Amino acid sequence: MAEAMASRDLTASDQLARSAAVKDAATAGSDYCKTAKWIFQLGNQSSVGKIIEHIDSLWRKAIINGISVLKNTPRDIRAQDSLRNAFTSADDDWKNLENLFAKRVPEVNLPLLAEKLVRVYRGELSSVGDPGWCLAEAVYGFFANGGSACYVVRFDDQSVPDHAMLQAGLKELEAVPEVAMVAVPDLHHFSPALDGAKTLMQAVAQHCATMKNRVAVLDTPQDKSGSPRQRALQKADIGNLGIPEEARGYSALYYPWVTVPGLDGASRSIPPCGHIAGVWARTDAQRGVFKAPANEALRGVIALPMHLTDDEQADLNEAGINCLRVFPGRGILIWGARTLAIDSHDWQYLNVRRLVCFLADSIRQSTSWAVFEPNDERLWATLRQTVQSFLKEQWRQGALRGATPDEVYSVICDASNNTLETVQSGRVICDIHVAPTSPAEFIHFQIQQTAGQTATA
């Protein structure tokens, strides 16, 4: 705001001079504070903290005073020199500080950080952050579409390799059993090309497959112009993502990106994963996890970069890519509910995978009382009854397919699968088979008309 006001009465040359001075200030200040923060984290908090406060305060004061000076005397070269001299002096202080902690200062690449700061002061970028970062918009989209709780893991430390940083974040999520979906909205910020994003997508998918109680919400890559990378949408490339076969059933891929109003009032294009996760949560709450999270409206989205035809949708659907589409009078809808397990009849549908995850996790938690109980027929019978009652209730709600419970599920927990060897090893085995409902993806109507008769459908 201060810089915008300062720019009103300046000529083009004056504005260039002012911008140069502010850029010097911003670059120096970013260098000081970013590196000082690292030292603060690695060094002695009490002593280094005082130095950080000193540098931060000097930087902010120089920025404010510098803008004021340039506004009042834009042609005063001495004022501009004074501003630069202030940072030259600060730079000397910083070099002395750097020498003291030389062994503990990590190698940090700061040009990107300095550029962001300069853009903020020029009014080209809001304080919300770099347009390349999508976390804030994704979290907003999650709650706007019905999400109730989410965990945010840091993924912005540029001194750590992308893959190692993502692995560390996923490791933290292993300790949170209630997580049911995993999305990384800034994944393509680090690796815009499909080739670079492969290892990150593989890590997310493998994490979900290892945990067996959650599913990855993945996005197709998109370049800065807003048009999708067409080669990322070819069926052959889905197999080339490198996601292991066992992890594909725990992954769902969505296309295309969406245009949102923007938290700062400026519309922008972002990956849809946050909004998609919110729709999953909304569907779970309103219908149940067995309902395919498709044919559902996306809230907080104002447009799509392109409108797909039925033929284009069919090709992408066959590749396991879930599309977002616009329908007259209905708005923007999710029009697909498949996993990347395109060659598996058991796990190709997203709601089937998520239902089995829900059933397994629920049964595991509800039978924890059995631990350390006597491992005999009475325990097995009680476990059978507990699991059967739970599955019968799920069947009544419409989660399982069949006319009678015998057609829907079977629970085996007796001497046939709990042998003397398993009992002596302290294990109880309960084999469960279920028949989940599959979504009706295509509705086929036949219309016939016989001569001299009315049409029938």
* pLDDT band, very low/low/confident/very high, at 345 (cuts 50, 70, 90): confident
Is 205 in the same domain as 275? yes
Give the residue-averaged pLDDT of 93-108.
44
**Residue 302 clears pLDDT 70, i.e. is over it:** yes
Is 110 in the same domain as 166? no
The percent of residues above 90 in pLDDT, for the chain, comes to: 40
**pLDDT tens figures, 393-446:** 999 999 999 999 999 999 999 999 999 999 999 999 999 999 998 886 555 566
What CATH number is associated with residue 236? 3.40.50.11780
In a domain, 403, yes or no: yes
In a domain, 345, yes or no: no
* pLDDT band, very low/low/confident/very high, at 292 (cuts 50, 70, 90): very high
In a domain, 161, yes or no: yes
Is 84 in the same domain as 157? no
The number of beta carbons lying within 10 Å of the beta carbon of residue 264 is 15
In a domain, 355, yes or no: no
Mean pLDDT check: name the lowest of 54-58, 203-207, 279-283.
Answer: 54-58
Is 300 in the same domain as 371? no
In a domain, 269, yes or no: yes
For the ranges 85-99, 128-142, 196-210, the maximum mean pLDDT occurs at 196-210
Is 264 in the same domain as 319? yes
Is 305 in the same domain as 435? no
**Residue 111 clears pLDDT 50, i.e. is over it:** no
Residue 424, pLDDT score: 93
Angle between helices 111-122 and 12-42 (to 10 degrees): 130
In a domain, 85, yes or no: yes
The percent of residues above 70 in pLDDT, for the chain, comes to: 60
Give the residue-averaged pLDDT of 360-365.
92
Q: Among 68, 101, 122, which residue terminates a domain?
A: 122
Is 292 in the same domain as 400? no
Is 180 in the same domain as 320? yes
Residue 189, pLDDT score: 75
Is 207 in the same domain as 291? yes
In a domain, 320, yes or no: yes
Residue 338, pLDDT score: 93
Is 142 in the same domain as 115? no
Residue 440, pLDDT score: 66
Give the residue-averaged pLDDT of 36-54.
50
Is 148 in the same domain as 294? yes
Is 94 in the same domain as 141? no
Mean pLDDT check: name the lowest of 199-203, 274-278, 282-286.
Answer: 199-203
Q: Among 81, 99, 122, which residue terminates a domain?
A: 122
Domain range for residue 420? Answer: 367-457
In a domain, 279, yes or no: yes
For the ranges 232-246, 314-328, 376-390, the maximum mean pLDDT occurs at 376-390
In the chain, the number of structural domains is 3
Residue 28, pLDDT score: 56
